[in-house]
Structures are given as structure tokens and as C-alpha cells.
């Protein structure tokens, strides 16, 4: 699939992105500092995000969704991250992990039951990680035992994004450990289920308004018809969903980097030293020119991966590359923005200090940088080995 330019948007895409960015600047920006300090999302923003239509971008209109593209979901994540990466990942998980998972794997009855709620009021979480299963995701210990017409889940999940706000959780558990990863099954678990509770909320370095929690399952009974997909295909669901989710994290890190450059440039243009704007000094020029170049490269990779996904073409390598590069660029850009702004960049009064803290998670969640490199290497090697 070819395009005049990968970063060129259609009129519809541009209008959508502009609308999300306007919401972020008008509604989110005034609340960012306090949300970061409190370590919690302002609940008034959640209803606003649903009204804006960014909590169910790809969900069909018959369920109340926007019936748009994966690419538009990525644009929403990028636009929100320009202002607050915490709100960005809140929307990202809802779309690229939870809704995508339901759209791809749920039965017709499950879609009818859950998608209207996901499009109007319910927040979702994706519960795969555990204390002993991070990069080795299939080493999970949460078990599911069949008792009559129910499954009983027991275990603990860690690092669950949106855990404090979610009403629906996609929980991965093993139904038969003798089968290894082929015993892993995905379940749709509602917050009010007996035996289910949200545990400790992590006190994090960055993206503090985004809740990251523990989930506790103590003989949690789940109806048999709440199995997502088939029993034993949870490993496949997890792999395929996370491949898409990595593009979302790439978009989050891209938006963060763009936000860092925006703040730094506005400051440097206005800041005068020795009779001229500090943005005019060559020592500064070379640094922000390099930053802008790297951001453009990251945007090309993120947009390309999203376009490939929408076109139904292979995108696993491109998604890994996009997440890898974008997380690197975000960390470098946020760090440089602090330096370019000097003393004020080091204070909490200016946004770049927060963006610097927020950037670090990009190399860690939804697949560490080393895991992205391993994925890329495997695909590249395979291409050469197979001629």
C-alpha cells in the first residue's frame, strides 16, 4: 500500500485529530498538574472522553461506537499524549487492547452484552501480567478450574492499567497447566464478581494519573459463556492483541515527544539572552533540529504500522520497530527539552519535567525494548534464512 506521504492525513483524519487535540488542550491541560500530584485521573474527564467518541473508536455504530479505523484510534492516542500521556494511555488500553480483543474474539452475544457499555460508560483493563510473568508472559500462575457450568479463577495480576476505573477486565488464566501455554484462556470478568477485587495501586515515577493496580482473584466465579474465544487459545489472543497494542504505545510516545518539542520551542523563541532569542543560537538549533528529525522518523514508523494493520497486511515487525524507536525518541526528546529550557525545565511549574518522568515507561510496558529487538531480529533472520 502506498501513500503520497505516510504522515499526510486525509481531511477526515485531520479534523478528527484536531478535535481530540482541542479537547486535550481545553479540558485536560488545566487538570494535568493536579492529576499528576494526586496520582489519579479526574473523573469528569472520563465522561468527556466517552462523549468525544475516543473510547470506542473502532466499535461499530450498532453498538454505539464511532465505527472508525485503527489509524484514527492511534491519532487520538497521539493527540492526547501531546498534553498528557496518562490520559493517552487510558484511551489507548481501552481501544487497542480491550475493545480490539472483544471485536476480534468475542461471540455475537458477548459483543451485544459488552460493546454498548464500552462505548458509553465502561472502562476496560487487560490483565495478563503477574509477579512472575512479565516478558515471559506465558509463565502466568493464575488458574481457572471448571466447576459445573462455571469457571473458578484464583490468582493475582500485577501492573494492570486502568485497574482503578475499570468495570470490565480481560483476565488470562491457565485451565490446564499440563498443556503449558496452550492451557491459557481469556475470560471476561466484571468488577462486581464475587471473589474479585482491585488491590494495591502502584505509586509510580511517571504517568501517575493512569492507575496501575493489582487484581486479586479468590475463587472468583465466572460463567462459562464469559470465556473469550475458545478454551486454550488465550495465548493466541494475547500475542495478537499485544502486537496491535504496541502501535498504541508507539503513538503515546510519539505524542509525548511532540509535546516536549512544542514546550521547548515556545520557551526558546520567547527567551532572550545576549539580545536575541536563544532559539537562534546555533548550539541550540542543532539540538532541536535533531530532535525534530527523530520525531518525524518515529511518526513515519507509527503511522506506517497503523496503516498496515488497517490494510490487513503483516505489521508485527513494523509495530515492534515503531514502539522501539518511539520510546527511545520520547525519552531523548523529553530529557533534551528539560535542558533546553534550563532551570525552569527542572521545575514542576513547567510541563517538561513531567514529560521526562512519563517517558521512561515507554521502554518497559507492553513489551520491553529488548523484547522488541528480539521480535525484530527473529523476523529479519527468518526472511534471510528462507531466502
Of 287, 240, 293, 241, the C-alpha closest to 268 is 287
In angstroms, rounded to a whole number, what is the distance separating the alpha carbons of residues 128 and 134? 9
CB-based burial, 51-72: b 16+ in 10 Å, e otherwise: ebbbbbbbbeeebbbbebbbbb
Are 91 and 102 spatial neighbours (Cβ–Cβ below 8 Å)?
no
Residue 366 is a catalytic residue = yes
The position carrying cell 524507536 is: 325
Q: 3-class SS at 125?
A: strand
Alpha-carbon Rg for the chain in angstroms: 21
Cβ within 8 Å of residue 190, ≥6 positions away: 167, 168, 169, 196
Sign of CA dihedral 313, 319, 325, 331: positive
Cβ within 8 Å of residue 257, ≥6 positions away: 291, 294, 295, 298, 326, 329, 330, 333, 334, 359
CA angle 37, 43, 47 (to 5 degrees): 145
Q: 3-class SS at 61?
A: helix
- How does DSSP classify residue 205? S
In angstroms, rounded to a whole number, what is the distance separating the alpha carbons of residues 235 and 273? 58
Cβ within 8 Å of residue 41, ≥6 positions away: 35, 86, 87, 90, 165, 209, 210, 211
- How does DSSP classify residue 226? G
Most distant pair of Cα atoms in the chain: their distance: 80
- Give the residue ranges of DSSP H helices in 229-349: 234-270, 282-310, 316-340
User: Annotated catalytic sites, by residue?
Assistant: 366
Amino acid at each position: 500500500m502506498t501513500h503520497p506521504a505516510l504522515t499526510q492525513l486525509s481531511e477526515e483524519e485531520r479534523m478528527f485529530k484536531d478535535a481530540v487535540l482541542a479537547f486535550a488542550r481545553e479540558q485536560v491541560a488545566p487538570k494535568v498538574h493536579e492529576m499528576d500530584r494526586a496520582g489519579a485521573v479526574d473523573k469528569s474527564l472520563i465522561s468527556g472522553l466517552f462523549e468525544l467518541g475516543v473510547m470506542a473508536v473502532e466499535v461499530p455504530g450498532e453498538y454505539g461506537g464511532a465505527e472508525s479505523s485503527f489509524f484514527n484510534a492511534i491519532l487520538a492516542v497521539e493527540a492526547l499524549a501531546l498534553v498528557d500521556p496518562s490520559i493517552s494511555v487510558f484511551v489507548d488500553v481501552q481501544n487497542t487492547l480491550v475493545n480490539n480483543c472483544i471485536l476480534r474474539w468475542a461471540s455475537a452475544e458477548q459483543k451485544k452484552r459488552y460493546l454498548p457499555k464500552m462505548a458509553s460508560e465502561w472502562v476496560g483493563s487487560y490483565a495478563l501480567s503477574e509477579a512472575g510473568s512479565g516478558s515471559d508472559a506465558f509463565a502466568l500462575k493464575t488458574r481457572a478450574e471448571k466447576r459445573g457450568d462455571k469457571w473458578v479463577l484464583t490468582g493475582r495480576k500485577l501492573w494492570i492499567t486502568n485497574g482503578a476505573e475499570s468495570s470490565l477486565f480481560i483476565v488470562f488464566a491457565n485451565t490446564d497447566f499440563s498443556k503449558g501455554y496452550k492451557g491459557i484462556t481469556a475470560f471476561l470478568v466484571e468488577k462486581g464478581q464475587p471473589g474479585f477485587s482491585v488491590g494495591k495501586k502502584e505509586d509510580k515515577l511517571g504517568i501517575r494519573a493512569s492507575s496501575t493496580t493489582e487484581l486479586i482473584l479468590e475463587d472468583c466465579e465466572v460463567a462459562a459463556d464469559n470465556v473469550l474465544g475458545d478454551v486454550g487459545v488465550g495465548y493466541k489472543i494475547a500475542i495478537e492483541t499485544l502486537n496491535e497494542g504496541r502501535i498504541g504505545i508507539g503513538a503515546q510516545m510519539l505524542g509525548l515527544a511532540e509535546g516536549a518539542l512544542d514546550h521547548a520551542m515556545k520557551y526558546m523563541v520567547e527567551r532572550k539572552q545576549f539580545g536575541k532569542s536563544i532559539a537562534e543560537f546555533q548550539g541550540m538549533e542543532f539540538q532541536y533540529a535533531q530532535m525534530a528529525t527523530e520525531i518525524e522518523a518515529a511518526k513515519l514508523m507509527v503511522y506506517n504500522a497503523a496503516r498496515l494493520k488497517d490494510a490487513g497486511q503483516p505489521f508485527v515487525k513494523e509495530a515492534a520497530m515503531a514502539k522501539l524507536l518511539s520510546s527511545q525518541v520520547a525519552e531523548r526528546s523529553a530529557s533534551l527539552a528539560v535542558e533546553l529550557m534550563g532551570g525552569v525545565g527542572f521545575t514542576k511549574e513547567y510541563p517538561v519535567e513531567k514529560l521526562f518522568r512519563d517517558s521512561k515507561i515507554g521502554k518497559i510496558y507492553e513489551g520491553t525494548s529488548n523484547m522488541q529487538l528480539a521480535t525484530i531480529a527473529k523476523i529479519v533472520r527468518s526472511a534471510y534464512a528462507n531466502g
